[in-house]
Structure 1
Amino acid sequence: MEGASFSWKDNSCLFDLHLKVQYGTLVGVKGAIAAGKSSLLAAILGEINLVNGTIRQYVRSVSYAPQLPWIFADTIRNNILLGKVMDEERYKNVIKACCLDVDLQNFGKVADLMMIGDKGVNLSGGQKARISLARALYTDADLYLLDDPLAAVDPNVAKKIFDQCIGPRSLLREKTRILVTHQIHFLDEADQTILLTNSRIDEFYSEQPADDEQSNTTTEMNSSDDDKFNFKLKTATTDMNSIVKTETSTDGAVNWNVWFQLFTAPPLHWLGFFLSIILIFTAEAMYDFSNRWLSLWSAKSEKKQSSSFDAYVYLGLTLGTLIAALVRAGFLFYIMLCGSTYFHNQMLTGILYTSLRFFESNPSGRILNRVSKDQQAIDELLPLTLVDSIQYLVLTIGSVVIIGTINPWVLLILVPLTPIFWWLRRFYIRSSRQLKRLESVTRSPIYALFSSSLDGLTSIRAFQVQDDFMNMFMERIDTNSRAYFALLAAARWFSFQLSNMVSLLILVTAILAVALRHQINSSAAALTITYCITIVDLFQWAVRQSAEAENYMTSAERIHEYGQLVPENHKNNSTCSVLVQLPNDWPSQGIIEFKDYTFRYRPELDPVLKNLNLRIESKEKIGVIGRTGMIN
């Protein structure tokens, strides 16, 4: 760097930097908080804008360990490899150097195949930092940028990691390393040291590392017992107690309780449900009666047709139909939106008050899928689809009633068509409902990958694995698209079968209208033919929309599931015997006491605290020490 200044956006964050790093050296970077140490590494990675000066890099590849470890929901092994080919010897050396062998031993048989939750929720801060460091070390790069990787570990482990990973006798002894750290005693062994003050290089000097007894020996407790942790690479072990639970979908029809809760939601409850039924049939009755009145009016003689009474009646029926249709549509939308709001509030309450274990077991992308896409489905798509299906289904029933009233013989065709239609719809619904659930479930990994990739964008670019993540993203989109395509194909197949059935009804009606032309007046016959022509689109659209509404109800079902999450507060749980009634003024003193206390994170896991006996008196200051990630 020569006179280089950098900025994240508009304001500069690094000023007038002059820096030259030789290949194969260890460069230490120190400075106060917010002095610009992490920004310096970001500048080398090209993550911030160069404002003035020049920067030149003569390296082919860069490896990076960020200050905040980026951990995604997968196994420990996959987090370290990050899509690279397994080199067993190098992998074992990295595990040993990063002091992860002890932790993998504590994890049991699954070892490095243990599933990590979203953002490493089931790991300690030190374990996350060492996995992030192991990922950086496993990559064979020319330049290693290490942003305070020793901050989250205890001093003994920090010393061992420095000696084995970063120092002049470490795995990276022949590589160029830039180490940012607040533990400046490690910088005594650095080839060059940089002091950053107020976003500027205040000091830059080179040192000859002195031979120190501590540089060759490790002060790690129980270091003499390292050989007993002989890590063996496993290939066919599955984490049976994985913290990340597989998202499952229910089978069969949507529970009728979900339907009832949607239509009887506050504030109108059952009153709104009954009023909507009354409005539906009232609007349809007025529409059919207005058409029937027009048919009777046109059948009168020319002299009687000129009567203004019939015109006024028809005008009143038409206006009444218009008003009834508007009121019906508005009221149905109001009921549906009240239901979706009720479901949303239930889901929000369930998520806010449930146990933290829920967030550990469910990636953020899965939760985001339900609170965004599924909620959008019942907010926007379900009301439109359901109102359409109700309106057109009632119109279809009204059309059949009018046709049957004028020509009862037409109803004979409904005898074979009705059971065929019922079977087809049942067959289609059973398939499409499961396809819709599959489409919803396969959408969650897309959100999860997008969320985790956004958190680790700097690391992804630093390790140059953008293409790998794009391929992963496309694979998940393809998986979701396959389910969606199958859903669309099933809908088109069902539409074709409905068209055939309605065409048969039109054919029979037309033949009977011609055959019975002497028994039916021309206006009535014209009305039946008109209804038959319109029923083609009405019936097909009504049935398709009703099936689509039931598919969208799977989103309501998924949101309702989150609304039934068990809250963390178990005050009303009479089966819990360990809860006691505490006085209102508790705690009156700062005394903490444990008696034979054993604790585990989840019921299926081993205890992490065993038979703990401890009493802390009021106003005492207690220090807790121990190896990072150690189960005590």
Structure 2
Amino acid sequence: MDDEKLLNDEKKKKESPELHANLFSKIFFCWLAPLFAAAKNNEYDKSKVFPILPDFKNEIVYEKWLNVWGEQVDKAQMKKTTPKTFWMMFNFAKAEWIKMFAVRSIADIFQYIQPLLFTELLTALGAPVIDVEWCLIVSILMFFMAELRSFCLSFLLFRLLKVEIKLKAAVVRHIYEKGTRLSPTSQQKFPVGAIVNLMSVDIERLVHVIPFVHHFWAAPLQLIFATLLLIKTIGISAIPGILIILCYVPFNYYTSVYMKKFHKKKMRSSDQRLKQLEETVSGIETVKTHVWENAFSNRIEESRNNEVRMLKNASCIARAVDAANMALPVIVAVTSFGAFVLFETSDLTPTKAFVSLAIFNKLRQPARIIAQFLNGLMQALVANKRIKEYLLAEERNAGESRYVIDDKTPTLQISTKLSTKPLNLILKRGDFASVVGAVSSGKSTLLNRVLWNDSSEYNIKVNGRIAYVPQKPWLPRGSVKNAIIFGLPWDEKHYIKVVDACELKTDFEQWANGDQTMIVGMSNSLSGGQRARLSLARALYQRAELYLIDDTFASLDRKVGSKVMKNILGSNGILKNSAVMMVSSDVDFGKEAKEILVLSEHKVIATGQYKELSECSQAFKDLLSYTGSERTKNKAADDEKPRSPSKSSTKSAFEDEKVKPDNNRPASWSVYKAYIDSASKVFIFGLFTATAAHFILGALRSFWLSNWSDAAKNKTERALETEEETAIRKANAQNRLFVFAGIGALEVIAIAIAYVFLVLMAERASKVFHKKFVVSLLNASMTVHRKIDVGQVMNRASRDCNIFDNRTPLCLRQMIQNTIQIVCSLAVVAISTPSFLFALGPIAIGYIYIQNKYIPTMKQWSRIERAQWSPVITQATEGMAGVEVIRSAAQEARFSEQFVSEMEDYVRADYLENPMKRWLMLRLDIIGNSITLCSSLLCVWSISNGNLTPGVAGLSISFAMTVTEQLGHLVRMVAEMETSMIAVERIKKYVDLEPEDSQAHENAEKERLLSGDVEWKDYYGSYRKNGTPVLHGITMRIPAGERVVIVGRTGSGKSSTFLSLLGMLEKCGGEIDINGISTSNISVKKLRKHCAVVPQSVRIFDDSVRFNIDPERKHDDIELWKVLERSGLKALISWKDGLDERLCADIMSHGQRQLLGVSRSLLSGGENFQGCLLLDEPFASADSAVMANLEQVIPKWFSRATVFTITHKPPADGTYDRLIEISNGEIVAQHVTSQENAQSE
């Protein structure tokens, strides 16, 4: 028994306490006690979050969603329409919807029993002889009716929000899974930024309509109940007010429909902004290299301004609706009481006045809910259309025969008639085919068709598993070892064989943590060759039947490339039993190929073996012409042996760069100040003042009504009244009505002014804070960017910005509004019944206790919930970025499981908001209802002692009844404000990033033109502050105008040397001088403008040709066409729209991208450029014709510049002045070819 009990206790610890809570604990949510205790002790972290409930498991909810989705899609296809998403949402939890309908009906019955009891209480208090016992019973019944309603609503919202969370988790999973199956056309239509918006913003808007559904049908019923009670209370005089209420329904509807148009445009601008931000952060090295920070910041802000403009238009309409809804009780009261004065012969008694006033106040909630629901519904409709369009987008071919292995069938068969001559390629295991061709000939396209089994132009049959090595290496987060193993079973012997084959052993020895070194973000700190070899190693470890290798060897130096080639494709190579199809820009790699395919204009124009083609094919001879001239290498450079690696000196610069999780400290005043400064103190003060005026005027109007009803009461007690007295009484009533209406009109004006300030405040905050965020992010150093995770940035730019734009200003408004409203209500109750002040003390203590317990817990929960969303976005973007590799390795299930794991962690945190809000709601309702009970009991006691009039009693109780809702709203809004400030705080962390130029000291001397005279003086550099250097004591002087070639094996520090000159490394020691001036004293932007760069990997931005080469628009069309022609890119691409043609990186070849990089350098340098030209292996994928052109253009264009070239192939003709070899971050050899420079050396 003891063992069984122990096992049960252990099982309970691994389950949510909600599952084992008793009835009382479930009703009052006492099972949340561990969370409050953890928050009190400041121990609230991810480990304290309760385990996920069984019915919230993602596999369960996702399968359920797919079932309802599939049913609706099938029905829609039969009817030739689109699926009905809202019907799916109903079918997803049909039983729950029906149950909650009954619960909501019961809650509304309890709500409108309370005004009937209030009528009975005021009637009893106005009687000549007061029945105290009956009054006490009625007061207590009012309390219990309010509490029963509170329990029903708590249960209703708790169950509905469960449905919301399940639905959100299921649809987000569906969005992710769809993203891994999108066709190339769909990928262009739905870039990563748009998908992130769908997962972060659209899904929120779609599911947030769920809690309002029952409110929507209940709100009209509440209006009907209110109408009937008004007619019962003041007769047909209620009809004008009822007509006004009826007019509000179509007004709310049509304004919501109008807002829908702005929401659509706003989301399109938001997609555009997120796409631009994602590609800017991903390509930040390109942006900084060319000093384009301002241009890209302006580009993003242009989209942001369009987004904010649409947001402002929608906000103006929404605030107009809110103002109208706030004015509704005032207008209805004025019209109803006006009709009563004009048409009724009886007087306005306290019972009639204050029961009506209580009903008018209750009209605020259904009117507000209808407006909120319609606004939310329009946003949900926009979100629904966007999500549905995405989920129905075209997908890639599934590739049915991919994993069928038959030893008798060839591994790969390709046939087509779309060639100059018929193609029938058959590869068996052990065969090797090479694909060659000029830039833009379609080499990579052919590999992609094989990978995706695309038979639109080719007849492709694949027998076996495919391992794919993309042209641009993709590496997932995690350790290097895991990146190679890639989810497959561990095989140490095979692993060592793969590492040796890819020449990675030396790199592992250089890294302090070896193959346990962590890859973070986009693996910026790895060299191009290291990334390529890791990508190749991952494919080799898979033991596939077919290998598709896309120009991987272009990133490797010749010595390492030859070794790797021999290791994998030699007679005893690791792929000797596999079929290999390899794209290569170096035709020499195809010497051992069974067949070489020569492509031109996406067609196969020649096939055969190396010797055959070199004799018979002119196209192949042209490709050989440049390669042949390069076969004779500089032996001294190629045969240099690198020094033995040193672990201490070459510790990985990218290890341990893990993003620190958000801490749990409360939002500081600096966060509030940052928001206030962005929103404008003047606008916030205007909002506060106008809101205060509105509620003070409301209190004065109620006091005036009290006085009016008491005067009428006294006059009706007269037995007889003359005609003159009757006329005077009518005139007095009309005068009182005019004053009542005048105060009401001022109320409406005040709230309208408050909302004008709110719109202006929200617009300014959205523009100013986002601009600070983007500018600070783009101007941060590369050291910072190497630590930044793109998923985190996108989370802040999407979800946090959405909170900042929409929730934060509304929370501030409602917090101000509720605070002033509660103060005014309690002041009215205290003035009416001063003895209430004695009860206020204990009530205030209970209120403060609950607030102090709830708000810190909610803030800390919100931090965890926001932090948990970032891994979801990161996992999604990573999985979609590497979809080709993941699919070829049959790892879709593993990455899907990783996404589900992150999603379930998020659901665990997100779920707790629901019960915590219900915990608060129940306790605040008890306090609020206690205030009503105390006010009622005190009024009974005071009237029975003759110290209070019925009119004042009605005023006191009616205001006390409003406090219940106001208290709940206030605490919720304070908590919402605190949690929304977390979004502000998360964005502010990026706003506060230190800019690169903060340490530069400008002076007049540095304004003169800098030449290309560069000197490194014992320079040490690292990829991060206080990190281990990757460059060690670099010392050399390069006179202006020299041609310098830098060689070395991959990962030796060649590119790092370039980065040091561009100020993209952290200096650990030494100096770099340009023209005798230390770079430490030169602005990094000025320093980079002094350098023209062609990087190894050229980033293409989804924009026009013009923007891609001249985003700052400093040059005219003639200059742009000139550099495009000189680089050779103009002749390779046909642009229908000229310079305004949009470029897409996915359809541009590697060679085309490199030529675009050359165009950028030509434009930024200019023909009289005297600075430094940095060429980082820029022509690895260029064909002979392109190379011949560039070898003429670049020396002529940059004739006065100092040229640094990183290359694996030093020019055989010795067209350079200096050859430098780097190994392990140190210069190991220098060879000066110029006699003049040699003598000076």
Common fold: TM-score over 0.5: yes
Residue pairs, 1:226-375, within 5 angstroms: 242-265=655-678, 269-301=680-712, 302=715, 303=726, 304=729, 306-307=731-732, 308-375=734-801
Query: In the aligned structure 2, how far is the partner of 1:240 from the partner of 1:181?
Result: 31
Q: What is the rounded CA distance, in whole Å, between the counterparts of 1:476 and 1:188 in structure 2? A: 48
CA distance in 2, matches of 1:95, 1:39: 29
Aligned-partner Cα distance in 2 for 1:371–1:123: 27
Q: CA distance change for structure 1 residues 142 and 106 in 2, over 3 Å: closer, same or farther?
A: same
SS of the residue aligned with 1:178?
strand
Report Cα offsets for 1:341-370 as digits up to 9, x if no partner: 322122112101110111110111111111
Out of 513, 528, 545, the position equivalent to 2:956 is 528
The 1:487/1:273 distance shift into structure 2, 3 A limit, reads same
Matches within 5 A, 1:457-476: 457-476=883-902
Deviation at 1:319, TM superposition (A): 1.1
Aligned 1:553-592 pairs, distance under 5 A? 553-571=981-999, 582-587=1005-1010, 589-592=1011-1014
User: 1:162-186 deviations in whole A, cap 9, x for unaligned?
Assistant: 0112333201101111111122112
Q: Quick one: percent identity of the two aligned structures?
A: 25
SS of the equivalent of 2:1044 reads: coil
Determine the structure 2 residue equivalent to 1:96: 500
Contact 2:868/2:906 (CA < 8 Å) preserved in 1?
Answer: yes
Separation of aligned partners in 2, 1:580 and 1:629? 37
Q: Does 1:599 align with 2:1021?
A: yes
Q: Which has the higher mean CA deviation after the structures are superposed, 121-130 or 482-491?
A: 482-491
What's the CA shift for 1:532? 2.2
Aligned to 1:189: 592
Q: 1:246 to 1:293 in 2, by over 3 A?
A: same
Task: Return the offset for 1:117.
Answer: 2.5
The match for 1:478 is 904
Higher helix share: 2
Amino acid at match of 1:43: R
Q: Is the 8 A contact 2:436 2:587 kept in 1?
A: yes
The match for 2:489 is 85
1:37 matches 2:443: yes
Contact 1:4-1:51 within 8 A present in 2 as well = no
Q: One-letter code of the match for 1:32? A: A
Structure 1 position 542 matched with structure 2 position 970: yes
Is the 1:15–1:199 contact (alpha carbons within 8 Å) kept by the matching residues of 2? no
- When residues 117 and 489 of structure 1 are mapped into structure 2, their CA distance, relative to the original with a 3 A threshold, is same
| Partner Cα separation in structure 2 for residue 345 and residue 119 of structure 1 | 25
Which residue in the other structure is 2:871 paired with? 445
Aligned residue among 906, 914, 928 for 1:488:
914
Deviation at 1:222, TM superposition (A): 7.9
Task: Mark the CA change 1:2 to 1:194 in structure 2 (over 3 Å): closer, same or farther.
Answer: closer
Which one of 165, 170, 174 corresponds to residue 573 of structure 2? 170
Task: Identify the match of residue 151 of structure 1 among 546, 551, 554.
Answer: 554
SS of the counterpart of 1:203?
Answer: strand
Q: 1:120 aligns with which of 519, 523, 534?
A: 523
Name the SS for the 2:1017 alignment partner: strand
Q: Against the structure 1 CA distance between its residues 356 and 291, is the aligned structure 2 distance closer, same or farther, given a 3 Å change threshold?
A: same
**What is aligned with 1:69?**
473
The answer to whether 1:51 aligns with 2:51 is no
Cα deviation, residue 391, structure 1: 1.2
2:735 and 2:677 map into 1 onto residues whose CA distance is: 43
Q: CA RMSD in A?
A: 2.9
Tell me if structure 1 keeps the 8 A contact 2:872–2:902.
Answer: yes
Task: Kindly provide the CA deviation profile for residues 470-491 of structure 1, in whole angstroms up to 9, marking residues without a partner as x.
Answer: 1111111111121111233222
CA 1:207–1:254 in 2, change beyond 3 Å: closer, same or farther? closer
Q: Output the CA distance in 2 between the equivalents of 1:477 and 1:220.
A: 52
1:420 to 846, 851, 858: 846
Q: Does the Cα contact within 8 Å between 2:692 and 2:817 map onto a contact in 1?
A: no
Mapped to 2, the partners of 1:40 and 1:564 lie a distance apart of: 47
Conserved 8 A contact 1:5-1:51: no
Q: Give the AA of the match of 1:81.
A: I
CA distance in 1, matches of 2:503, 2:422: 39
Write the distance in 1 (CA, Å) between the matches of 2:882 and 2:981.
35
**Aligned amino acid, residue 245 of structure 1:** K
**SS at 1:41's partner residue?**
helix
Give the direction of change, closer, same or farther, for the CA distance of 1:201–1:241 in structure 2 (3 Å limit).
closer
SS at match of 1:385: helix
Kindly state the Cα deviation for residue 598 of structure 1 after the two structures are TM-superposed: 2.2
CA gap of 1:200–1:15, structure 2 versus 1, over 3 A, is farther
Give the CA deviation at 1:21. Answer: 1.9
1:114–1:239 CA contact under 8 A, matched in 2: yes
Q: Which amino acid aligns with 1:597?
A: Y
With the length of structure 1 as denominator, give the TM-score of the two structures. Answer: 0.89
Which deviates more, 414-423 or 133-142?
414-423
SS across alignment from 2:808: helix
Select between 420-429 and 243-252 the one with higher mean Cα deviation: 243-252
Q: What whole-Å deviation, never above 9, does each CA across 1:111-146 have from its counterpart, x for those lacking one?
A: 011112322101000000000000000002111111
For residue 191 of structure 1, report the CA deviation from its aligned partner.
1.7
5+ long unaligned stretches in structure 1:
7-12, 232-237, 574-578
- 1:270 to partner: Cα distance: 3.7
Aligned-residue offset at 1:241: 7.0
Go from structure 1 to structure 2 and tell me whether the alpha carbon gap of 1:597 and 1:14 turns closer, same or farther (over 3 Å shift).
farther
The code of the aligned residue for 1:29 comes to V
Deviation at 1:239, TM superposition (A): 8.9
Does 2:563 match 1:160?
A: yes
| Structure 2 residue aligned with 1:234 | none
Aligned 8 A contact 1:286 1:320 in 2: yes
- Deviation of 1:243 after TM superposition, in Å, equals 4.8
2:425 aligns with one of 11, 19, 38: 19
CA distance in 1, matches of 2:602, 2:571: 28
Q: Is the CA contact 1:593–1:613 (under 8 Å) kept in the aligned structure 2?
A: yes
TM-score (norm 2): 0.46
Q: Shift in Å at residue 603 of structure 1?
A: 3.5
**CA distance in 2 between partners of 1:566 and 1:5 (Å):** 60
What is the deviation of 1:240? Answer: 11
Letter in 1 for 2:779: Y
Aligned with 2:604: secondary structure? strand
Shift of 1:595: 2.2
The reply on whether 1:106 has 2:510 as its aligned counterpart is yes
